[in-house]
Amino acid sequence: MRIQFNLIIRTLIPLAVSGFMTGAIAADERVSPEQLVAEMNQRIAAITQSSASNGIMPRFNQAKSLGCFAATFKVHDGIAKEFKQGLFAQPESYRALLRFANASEQDDTKKDIRGLSIKVFDVKGDPLWGEIGVQDFLLNSYPALFVATPEEFLDFIRARQEDKITGFFINPLNPHLKSLWILFKARAVHSNPFAIRYWSTTPFRHGSDDGTAVKYSVTPCAGKSVSVEGVAGENQLRSAMKQHISQASACLEFGVQKRTDPEAMPIEDASVIWDEADSPFVTLATITIEDQDFDTDDALAACEKVSFNPWQSLPEHKPLGRMNEVRRETYFKASQLRNKEAP
Ligand code: HEM
């Protein structure tokens, strides 16, 4: 064991010091928030453009669309008063659109983080940004993000653009070993995107001021699992979802986790999991997906075009923290570029 460890250290450190080193930023060289967003946008645009092929410009993150689904988003009756906020103020059944995706792999058999983006329609009230009547939620299949701050995310984007990802993790001047550990745990082989949990990882307001913060999670409904058999190959997750809804509707619960301990549940560190033992998720809505043709060429092409933004939100669900702040412009610019609306 000791020999193996020594071998790893002897191999990785020279690699990091030599060709794999990224342009790591020391703490005192931090850029202003405006510079940070501008650099992110410019690098995300370059990465997005360079990954275009066959007439498709895939998203910078959650690049492979597994499918987009029409759904119902039913806000429960009898929600506790403190959670009856914004979209959840009244029991109501809304039309919704769900997009499931692979973060970085085109081949569904490989380990990856899966994404779930939700758009709820016909919502009353003016949003903070974007289209009237729409509320978006964005979630990943792991409860923590692999980086803590937007500065760390920018370091990663720099490394990705310069093809020096290894250096991002093990650069001795600025190592990101926690990021490596989170990705090690978060990337997994999944067999059915309707059967796994998703988390927002970043916090959102739940009410009329920033005093109440929550994270979101979407969980498969208890007792409604469907066994999917015989799927294989690079599109096996799409096949699994098709088989699932042809047997029974897919059922997911939307829940919020209240921030009850400011120290243990930080707003400004997206890499920290808020402990469910301290504050369990409370279910506020049920999402139902009926059988539908989501995998035709036309449906998949439409799924490529749709755009989500955490700021497409009622004020009661305002995105909180600096990580979320950055996302308003980066998602908007990335979506404009993908849809070729950019000047
Ligand atoms: C500074 C932090 C972040 C940046 C710069 C960033 C950037 C991006 C970009 C540029 C896209 C593509 C948008 C498009 O082309 O329409 C994207 C997609 C996405 N991101 Fe992030 N992201 C960040 C944090 C997060 C976090 C915390 C989550 C947590 C769940 C997340 C989940 C997603 C999902 C689910 C999508 C797919 C959206 C879709 O279905 O169109 N991202 N991200």
Which spans in the chain are helix H? 2-17, 33-50, 150-161, 165-170, 177-186, 236-247, 297-305, 321-338
Backbone φ and ψ for 174, nearest 5 degrees, come out as -155, 65
Residues facing 74 on adjacent strands: 93, 286
Which range, of 3-12, 97-106, 160-169, averages the lowest pLDDT? 3-12
For residue 321, CA distances in Å to 204, 216, 318 come to 8, 15, 10
Q: Is the pLDDT of residue 343 over 60?
A: no
Query: How much is the pLDDT for 29?
Result: 56
CA angle 218, 220, 222 (to 5 degrees): 130
Residue 284 has pLDDT above 80, yes or no: yes
Residue 166 clears pLDDT 90, i.e. is over it: yes
Is the per-residue pLDDT at 296 higher than 60?
yes
Residues near ligand 1 with C-beta < 6 Å? 40, 44, 59-62, 99, 101, 115, 117, 138-140, 145, 150, 153, 200-202, 270, 307-308, 323, 326-327, 330-331, 334-335, 338
Helix (H, G, I), strand (E, B) or coil at 289: strand
Better-scored residue on pLDDT, 7 or 340 = 340
Q: How confident is the model at residue 10 (pLDDT cuts 50, 70, 90)?
A: very low
Answer whether residue 16 shows pLDDT above 80. no
Contacts of 289 (CB under 8 A, 6+ apart): 69, 70, 71, 98, 194, 245, 249, 250, 251, 252
Average pLDDT score, the chain: 91
CB 293 within 8 A of CB 287: no
What is the atom index within ligand 1 of the atom nearest the CA of 338? 15
pLDDT of residue 56: 87
Q: φ and ψ at 93, to 5 degrees?
A: -110, 120
Q: What is the set of domains in the chain, with CATH numbers?
A: 65-141+192-325 (2.40.180.10)
From ligand 1's centre to the CA of 229, what distance in Å? 31
Question: What's this model's pTM, rounded to 2 decimal places?
Answer: 0.92
Per-residue pLDDT, averaged over 109-119, amounts to 98
- pLDDT for 182-216, tens place per residue? 999 999 999 999 999 999 999 999 999 889 999 99
